[in-house]
Amino acid sequence: MTDLPTDDVLLVEDELFIALDLQETIEEAGFHVVGPCATIVEAQAEIDRCNGRFAVAVLDVRLADGTVFAAADRLQAAGVPLLFHSGHADDAALRQRYPSATVCPKPSAPDTLASALKRCAERRDAA
Instruction: Read off the CATH number of the domain in which 65 is found.
Output: 3.40.50.2300
Between the two ends of the chain, the Cα-to-Cα distance in Å is 14
Residue 41 lies in a domain: yes
In-domain check, residue 3: no
Residue 1 placed within a domain = no
Residue 84 DSSP symbol: E
Q: Percent of the chain having pLDDT more than 70?
A: 95
Q: Tens of pLDDT along 96-125?
A: 999 999 999 888 899 999 999 999 999 877
38 assigned to some structural domain: yes
The CA angle 81-118-24, to the nearest 5 degrees, is 100
Interval 32-47: pLDDT, tens: 999 999 999 999 999 9
Would you say residue 97 lies in a domain? yes
pLDDT, residue 100, reads 93
Range of the domain at 90: 8-126
Task: Tell me whether residue 25 is in a domain.
Answer: yes
Please report the DSSP string for 101-115 in residue order. Answer: -EEEESS--HHHHHH
In a domain, 2, yes or no: no
Residue 44 falls within a domain, yes or no? yes
Domain count, the chain: 1
Q: How far is CA 64 from CA 13, 30, 40, 49, in A?
A: 9, 28, 8, 21
